[in-house]
Structure 1
Amino acid sequence: MLKRTARKMMSMMSAIILLSGITAIVPSPAKAETARGTTYYVDNVSGDDGNAGTNPDTAWKSLAKVNATTFAPGDHILFKAGGSWQGQLWPKGSGMEGSPIIIDMYGTGSKPLIAGVTSELQTVFLKNQEYWEISNLEVTNPSSEPFTRDWKGKRGERRGVYVLNEEKGILNHIYIKNLNIHDVDGVYTTRSGGIIFDSVGSWVPSAFNDVLIDGNTLTDVDAYGIYISSNCILRYGMGDLWEWVPKPYGPWTPSTNVKISNNTVVRAATGGIAWNVTDGAVVEHNTVQEATYLATNASIWWAYADNSIVQYNESFASRNGSEDGTGFDVDAGNLGSLVQYNYSHDNAGGFMLYVNDTYNTINTIVRYNISQDDKARIFRYSGSIDTVLNYNNTIYVGAGSGNPVMSDYFTKSSGSPKNIYNYNNVYYSVGDRGWNLTGQTFDSNAYYGGKTLVNADAHKVTANPKFVNPGSGGTGMGTVDGYKLQSDSPLIGAGVPIADNGGRDYFGNPLYNGDPDIGAFEYQGNVPPATGKPPIVYTPAPIKPLPTPPGPEPGNLAPLATASASVATLSTSSIKSLTDGSYDKAWSSVDKGVTFPNYITLDFGSKQVTVNQLKIVTRFGTGQGVTKFDLEYFDGANWLPLKTGVEWVWQYSDQTNEAKTLDFDQTTAAKFRLKIGAANLKWGNFAINELEMYNRR
């Protein structure tokens, strides 16, 4: 919601506070060490694993020696410059606040090479560890298998660096700096690529705090360059993302104090840099080039994240624009995003994508960015995007853009976009296909060439904007001086003031010089004094949580298992519905020829679980509920009974979520099954909306 007021401009910090609490959080400076630690040296040529390892003359030799050692706070592990090792680097132990464990190089020459092997999916690995800093390594993880969109393909979910938090709550202080990562050949998932942080919670909500990914170069990495992932996403109706992500768990537990900066990502198969389930992430001074060259995605995108700041990044030459392919993408479930001072050019899918399906994406500010020769759809709104403020962006659509749509939208199940406000932007085009204006307001923008004119803009400027040299931007944030204004430009002083505007333009010039200019450049020459135009004040829309659909309680372990049934599944149903965390979908047997006994099995694989309660939820139980069964577990050799002759009588013949529970002695096993002896077969089938298992301690 926006209004005009004569209110005095507030500071940048005030603007960020208005943006749903966005703060420019950066990792805290390290405190003085509280543990001195030991320095260990590793030399693949002259070292010996029988040595003490505590000076260059008594260096260790192998990764195996490093991996077999549990390190202490303050320890350093230094690999010799120019050395190379094959295999996985997985040192054990954790540091402590003020005394991280540090991996680095010693000597002069090229960065030590850690080359991944086929048998290990990740080359550098930390699992449930904290207070680590990893710097100055070269990392690879190649595969001879071709890239495929089949996430179960032979390549596997390969990673250069993989930091995994599995059921450990909050893990602190992981810094990944100045690595050269290349030729990581993973499958098409968000969990494979150059640098992957992964939080997995099924019992314990888990996340990271104090993450720095800085100064890394990532080249030819599949599928992602950098990705921060989590399955702890449950809020506002959020549910499954993709089938390769562990089952969603709640509550929403964000990683905090995340900074991704000064990285260069070249030819990531899908996305360059992406993050989800964070609060206050700062992503700045990165370059992403030629992302999405093997599959659709956006170069820089984020989802299920609050208060993200995305600034000073260059995103260009994305290859695949058939679906996404944009330079930047505010994807589903984002509450408060600030996108500023970025340079987007030559991207196959356009400049900005805004996405909302069934989850809130709300309160987004996009300001003082430059887009040159982006293609397909410069701005694209997908679903019920709410409250976007786009202002002082410079958009240049040259001949190389291929006649894109300047702004478009797609209606999804969540609805259409609304409350999208556009002020002080320049739309300069030598050929475009115009606009779809649903949900948008325009005022004080400049339009030149093409079909960019928005007639409803009451204070539009349509004269030649008189840029210094439009279309001359190259590769590099500093190559866009051509979008500065000549002294007689009609855009000087033609804009409307915006409160809490960040205090600077794309080029670092202070705001304002007289009345505001239109576009990403604020002219600094002599201009008439400000005329006192009342500024636009941005007010974030209130967050309205979506109703939470009925589902299992926290602690349900069944989603960790793979479900199977001995009876065939009805064609309109799915076995996954047994444990998908939703009561709205049911698994059903076929509706003809059902005989008994039948078996439904939960297989937890190599990970045993301890449980003492079974819960089954069924709708229309009098017509299709299970009425008689035994509960069994597998001891590694035989199926043994837990409860036999269980009989249930169902009461409801409607949409009521009727639940029944069975308590039994606490049992630890990797497989459990129902031996079903009878069921109501009013329509020829029996069905279960959700099968749940708990450990009620």
Structure 2
Amino acid sequence: MSKWTARKILSLIVATAMLLSLSVATPPTAEAAGTTYYVDNAGGNDSNSGTSTSAAWQSLAKVNATSFAPGDRILFKAGGSWSGQLWPKGSGASGSPIVIDQYGTGSKPLIAGVTTELSTVLLKNQQYWEINNLEVTNPFAGPLTNSARGERRGVYILNEESGILHHIYVKNMNIHDVDGIYTTRAGGIVFDSVGSNVPSAFNDILIDGNVLTDVDAYGIYISSNCILRYGMSDLWPWVPKPYGPWTPTTNLRISNNTIIRPATGGIAWNVTDGAVVERNTVQEATYLATNASIWWAYSDRNVVQFNESFGSHNGAEDGEGFDVDAGNIGSLVQYNYSHDNAGGFMLFVNDTYYTVDTVVRYNISQNDKRSIYRYSGSIKNVTNHNNTIYVGSQSGNPVMSDYFTKTSGAPTNIKNYNNAYYSVGDRGWNLTGQSFDYNAYYGGSTLVSSDTHKVTSDPKFVSPGSGGNGMNTVSGYQLQSTSPLIGAGVPITLNGDRDYFGNSLYNGDPDIGAHEYQGSVPPATNRAPVAYPTIAKSAADDLAPRALASTTFASLNTTTAVIRNINDTYYDYAWSSSTTPTFPNYITLNFGGAQVTANQLKLNTRFGQGQGITNFDLEYYNGSAWLPIQSGINLTWAANTSADEIKTLNFAPTTFSQLRLKVNSGNHQWGNIALNELELYNAKANAATSAAASTTFPAGNAGPISNINDNSDSTAWSSATSFTFPQYITLDFGSTSVTTSKLTLATHFGIGQGITNVDVEYFNGTSWAAALSNAAIAWGLNNSTVETRDVVFPTVTTSKIRLKVNNGNRQWGNIALNELRVWSN
């Protein structure tokens, strides 16, 4: 996302202040739970009961003055219209949401916003609501830069200092002519978390089947000010301050929406974990200002699939169809169609914070106008594979271009396999700073010497360049039977099991491009597969990344060896003091007012004998003073190499908002001390060791199933080589109940025999229920080193838990597991 002008920023700050001045009145309570209320603008009367079509209410004021109960329904008459703001009060309950919908036949009920209200439909600090089948407007005269517009929205869901709010669905709405200013808090549908004092977010959000037309600034936006982790200290100026600790919205799904002419971005989300954005269409985005059509930032485990993005207008800085913006950890971009955008296909941004572990596969880009891929800043670990890129004659840049080093650093570990690049006219191939292998290049005269297994002959697509509007218009990029791309690719582990068109993978050796040819081909030649890159990092339940790290030591420099590196989860990045440090000095983790409980600290230092901390006191802040946890802790480092060396300190469970190390001494062979990672845990017990293990897999010869819970990574269980998925692995705790939200799988030779997809199921006393579905697991090694992978899910209490194993790597026919750990809460 681009930086914006000071004039626009000032107007946005003013609008934010206007919004925060809203107050909430306490309304009367509705008559009873589970009641249906009818609203008819022409035939209703507010003195009526509202509980039948013949005794309907009439006004928004009546609805807004009522506090509704779980299970209630508020039905507006089809064809009716109301002016003003709709803000019903109350909350539903789990399994009994409050539902807004229409009754009767005809057009959707119209709620027309007025200039005195920034939001036409509003929920504030409410949960368990479903909003359906309304037409919503919120117009305002004047240009996008007119600050008088304010942060205007069609539907605004605000969580202000209320913790986690659950189950808000917005479906089948017609939202148009919303005229807000240029800010992330204005647009058609906006979810906004403000948690400066109480970390706040949403859980279970569905935005589905809506049509949004001419909405300013965004079509759909998920916003939060709970951003503090990995040293993040600032964000766009219209996000309320002070910021809260990183608290993600979870179970977010944005699907089947059509967004036409949003002034800036079409769909954007920040501070989420596990978002799924699929089967949306964004058309003619950025028609008033630069932005990207679909983008996300400060979010983990993003899945972006089956979306069409086309016709963006402003490509001077952004304008791409898709943008993996700053601070994302884990993004999967697959089966999308990007075309005719003013910018390119993919933008990768990291101005200040980490953006890592991105996979872009089986997408099609046609006639995107500028650099098709743009890398900006310290992007790390991108794998682009099996994409088909068609660059038309109107494009002004090479297919691979725009590779920028910024303050955060340079892009690293960018890998490209099995992609088909087709250039009309000579737009060339700029392969700066990346690795390429098994790709196809056609139409550009630039030599591609760095790709050892390249194909440069005509790919023989059925009809290149013939794609139109619609996901199903791109059959022209399927391969003819004589295509040199058939069988010319390299296998990719965890490839998604399908191509763009839904064909299974692979048919013989992999094909290059987004289509896997389904005709007769020679048998596979067993080329060595390529795995997605993995990097050493702390465990998923590490508490330290929630904090802001600081130090009283002078740092070696202010750009690379910075203090935020100690709690960024990544072992490759380190903090270093300046040379000749003085002792004692402090290293502090500040959780921004949030209370955390921990009982274990881990210090990871490479070259520990040369630069490791050797003595420290551990202290916590109780709200008024610093108190000791342990004092005089000595560390002896065994190595002076680039290998990770981790020292673990266990201590009595302690609750605090700040934790600090008073560093009394350290090795300074080169003048400085250093720390790669400071990890903090509320360590749990492994309950699996007390369970009886069983499986439906036929037995192999590596060891019995009881090896998976003997608390030893040196023993393993293996299946036979002949079986079909799915199969089950079960742990039975007998008469004991275990409360858990996390499993750990340990496997050696994971690329060859590791489990790659599971459902986690638990026994609820009468039947098996799903705790987590379709969890993907990626392995990075194919040797005797045991890797571990965590699977985290909503907390369950059960006497039995099992893995429904849906898929696995079967290089030798079997799958295997060294250990299955169940962490007790």
TM over 0.5: yes
Deviation at 1:180, TM superposition (A): 0.2
* Corresponding residue number in structure 2 for 1:324: 318
Counterpart among 179, 185, 189 of residue 185 in structure 1: 179
* Corresponding residue number in structure 1 for 2:458: 464
SS at match of 2:149: coil
* Corresponding residue number in structure 2 for 1:360: 354
Amino acid at match of 1:293: Y
Counterpart among 76, 79, 82 of residue 76 in structure 2: 79
Amino acid at match of 2:161: E
CA distance in 1 between counterparts of 2:279 and 2:157 reads 23
Amino acid at match of 1:530: A
Counterpart among 103, 110, 120 of residue 106 in structure 1: 103
Taking the TM superposition and a 5 Å limit, the aligned residue runs for 1:377-416 are: 377-416=371-410
CA distance in 2 between counterparts of 1:214 and 1:551 reads 46
Alignment RMSD, CA only?
A: 2.0
Deviation at 1:200, TM superposition (A): 0.1
SS at match of 2:394: helix
SS at match of 2:96: coil
* Corresponding residue number in structure 2 for 1:524: 518
* Corresponding residue number in structure 2 for 1:225: 219
Is the CA contact 2:399–2:421 (under 8 Å) kept in the aligned structure 1? no
SS at match of 2:506: coil
* Corresponding residue number in structure 1 for 2:20: none
Counterpart among 493, 515, 534 of residue 528 in structure 2: 534
Amino acid at match of 1:382: S
Deviation at 1:435, TM superposition (A): 4.1
SS at match of 2:373: strand
Determine if the alignment matches structure 1 residue 210 to structure 2 residue 200: no
* Corresponding residue number in structure 1 for 2:289: 295
Q: Deviations over 1:499-524 (max 9, x none)?
A: 11000000000000000000000000
Change (3 A) 1:384 1:71: same
Taking the TM superposition and a 5 Å limit, the aligned residue runs for 1:29-428 are: 37-148=34-145, 153-428=147-422
Taking the TM superposition and a 5 Å limit, the aligned residue runs for 1:543-554 are: 543=537, 548-550=548-550
Determine if the alignment matches structure 1 residue 496 to structure 2 residue 490: yes
Q: Deviations over 1:464-519 (max 9, x none)?
A: 00000000000000000000000000000000000110000000000000000000
Deviation at 1:437, TM superposition (A): 3.0
Structure 1: gaps spanning 5 or more residues: 1-34, 553-580, 584-611, 615-697
Is the CA contact 1:473–1:480 (under 8 Å) kept in the aligned structure 2? yes
Deviation at 1:439, TM superposition (A): 2.8
CA distance in 2 between counterparts of 1:493 and 1:93 reads 60
Q: Deviations over 1:648-697 (max 9, x none)?
A: xxxxxxxxxxxxxxxxxxxxxxxxxxxxxxxxxxxxxxxxxxxxxxxxxx
Is the CA contact 1:42–1:60 (under 8 Å) kept in the aligned structure 2? yes
Is the CA contact 1:37–1:76 (under 8 Å) kept in the aligned structure 2? yes
Q: Deviations over 1:524-568 (max 9, x none)?
A: 00000101111101132234899945399xxxxxxxxxxxxxxxx
SS at match of 1:326: coil
Amino acid at match of 1:55: S
Is the CA contact 1:234–1:248 (under 8 Å) kept in the aligned structure 2? no
* Corresponding residue number in structure 2 for 1:445: 439
Q: Deviations over 1:129-149 (max 9, x none)?
A: 00000000000000012211x
Q: Deviations over 1:376-409 (max 9, x none)?
A: 1100000010000000000000123345553221
Is the CA contact 2:207–2:254 (under 8 Å) kept in the aligned structure 1? yes
Is the CA contact 1:408–1:437 (under 8 Å) kept in the aligned structure 2? no
Identical-residue share of aligned pairs (%): 76
Q: Deviations over 1:560-585 (max 9, x none)?
A: xxxxxxxxxxxxxxxxxxxxx999xx
CA distance in 2 between counterparts of 1:433 and 1:158 reads 42
Aligned length: 521
Is the CA contact 1:239–1:248 (under 8 Å) kept in the aligned structure 2? no
Amino acid at match of 1:181: I
Is the CA contact 2:297–2:325 (under 8 Å) kept in the aligned structure 1? yes
Amino acid at match of 2:59: S
Deviation at 1:60, TM superposition (A): 0.2
CA distance in 2 between counterparts of 1:431 and 1:462 reads 15
CA distance in 2 between counterparts of 1:89 and 1:448 reads 56
SS at match of 1:154: helix
CA distance in 1 between counterparts of 2:497 and 2:381 reads 22
Amino acid at match of 1:484: Q
Change (3 A) 1:269 1:453: farther
Change (3 A) 1:119 1:452: farther
Is the CA contact 1:407–1:434 (under 8 Å) kept in the aligned structure 2? no
Change (3 A) 1:403 1:353: closer
CA distance in 2 between counterparts of 1:241 and 1:81 reads 42
CA distance in 2 between counterparts of 1:490 and 1:405 reads 21
CA distance in 2 between counterparts of 1:196 and 1:454 reads 46
* Corresponding residue number in structure 1 for 2:17: none
CA distance in 1 between counterparts of 2:591 and 2:163 reads 25
CA distance in 2 between counterparts of 1:104 and 1:172 reads 19
Deviation at 1:453, TM superposition (A): 4.6
**Structure with greater contact order relative to length (CA < 8 Å, sep ≥ 6):** 1
Deviation at 1:358, TM superposition (A): 1.6
Q: Deviations over 1:307-350 (max 9, x none)?
A: 00000000001000000110000000000000000000011110
Deviation at 1:351, TM superposition (A): 0.2
CA distance in 2 between counterparts of 1:376 and 1:44 reads 51
Taking the TM superposition and a 5 Å limit, the aligned residue runs for 1:518-597 are: 518-543=512-537, 548-550=548-550
458-467 or 394-403, larger mean C-alpha shift: 394-403
Change (3 A) 1:312 1:38: same
Deviation at 1:83, TM superposition (A): 0.1
Counterpart among 432, 449, 452 of residue 455 in structure 1: 449
CA distance in 2 between counterparts of 1:192 and 1:296 reads 15
Deviation at 1:431, TM superposition (A): 3.0
Change (3 A) 1:235 1:403: closer
CA distance in 2 between counterparts of 1:364 and 1:452 reads 27
Structure 2: gaps spanning 5 or more residues: 1-31, 539-543, 553-589, 593-622, 626-825
Change (3 A) 1:165 1:453: farther
445-454 or 275-284, larger mean C-alpha shift: 445-454
Change (3 A) 1:491 1:59: same
Change (3 A) 1:144 1:439: same
TM-score by length of 1: 0.73
Q: Deviations over 1:604-663 (max 9, x none)?
A: xxxxxxxx999xxxxxxxxxxxxxxxxxxxxxxxxxxxxxxxxxxxxxxxxxxxxxxxxx
SS at match of 1:260: strand
SS at match of 1:65: helix
Amino acid at match of 2:492: I
SS at match of 1:514: coil
SS at match of 1:172: strand
378-387 or 424-433, larger mean C-alpha shift: 424-433
CA distance in 1 between counterparts of 2:271 and 2:207 reads 16
TM-score by length of 2: 0.62
Deviation at 1:242, TM superposition (A): 1.2
CA distance in 1 between counterparts of 2:471 and 2:151 reads 33
471-480 or 250-259, larger mean C-alpha shift: 250-259
SS at match of 2:68: coil
